[in-house]
Amino acid sequence: MNVLIIDDEIQIRRLLRMALESKGCTVRDADKGQTGLQDAIFHKPDVILLDLGLPDMDGVEVLKRLREWSSVPVLILSVRDQEAVKLAAFEAGADDYVTKPFSTAELMARLAAIQRRQGAHDAASLQFGPLVLDPVHHEAALDERPLKLTPTEYALLAQLVRHAGKVVTLKQLLRAVWGPQAEEQSHYLRVYANHLRKKLEGSALEIKNEPGIGYRLEEK
Give residue 83's domain range: 2-121
Are 210 and 189 contained in the same domain? Answer: yes
Are 24 and 79 contained in the same domain? Answer: yes
Domain termination site, one of 57, 89, 121: 121
Are 42 and 134 contained in the same domain? Answer: no
Average pLDDT value for residue range 180-184 = 75
Are 111 and 149 contained in the same domain? Answer: no
The confidence score (pLDDT) of residue 116 equals 65
**DSSP string for 42-108:** HH--SEEEEESB-SSSBHHHHHHHHHTT----EEEEES---HHHHHHHHHHT-SEEEESS--HHHHH
pLDDT at 188 over 60: yes
Are 52 and 89 contained in the same domain? Answer: yes
Are 30 and 117 contained in the same domain? Answer: yes
Are 112 and 133 contained in the same domain? Answer: no
The confidence score (pLDDT) of residue 206 equals 95
Instruction: Round the average pLDDT of the chain to a whole number and report it.
Output: 87
27: CB partners within 8 A, 6+ apart: 2, 3, 4, 5, 16, 17, 20, 21
Closest to 37 measured CA to CA, from 21, 48, 26, 25: 48
pTM of the model: 0.56
Are 106 and 136 contained in the same domain? Answer: no
- 29 φ/ψ angles, rounded to the nearest 5 degrees: -140, 155
Are 205 and 97 contained in the same domain? Answer: no
- List pLDDT tens digits, range 129-141: 999 998 877 789 9
CATH classification of the domain holding 146: 1.10.10.10
Q: How many domains does the chain have?
A: 2
- 210-219 burial by CB neighbour count: b if 16+ within 10 A, else e? eeeebbbbbe
CATH classification of the domain holding 15: 3.40.50.2300
The confidence score (pLDDT) of residue 85 equals 87
Are 170 and 102 contained in the same domain? Answer: no
CA distances from 184 to 152, 179, 180 (A): 17, 11, 9
The confidence score (pLDDT) of residue 138 equals 79
Domain termination site, one of 121, 139, 168: 121
Contact in structure between 192 and 153 (CB atoms under 8 Å): yes
Are 14 and 113 contained in the same domain? Answer: yes
The confidence score (pLDDT) of residue 119 equals 54
- List pLDDT tens digits, range 78-118: 998 888 888 888 878 787 888 888 888 888 888 887 776 56
| Confidence bin at 181 (pLDDT 50/70/90) | low
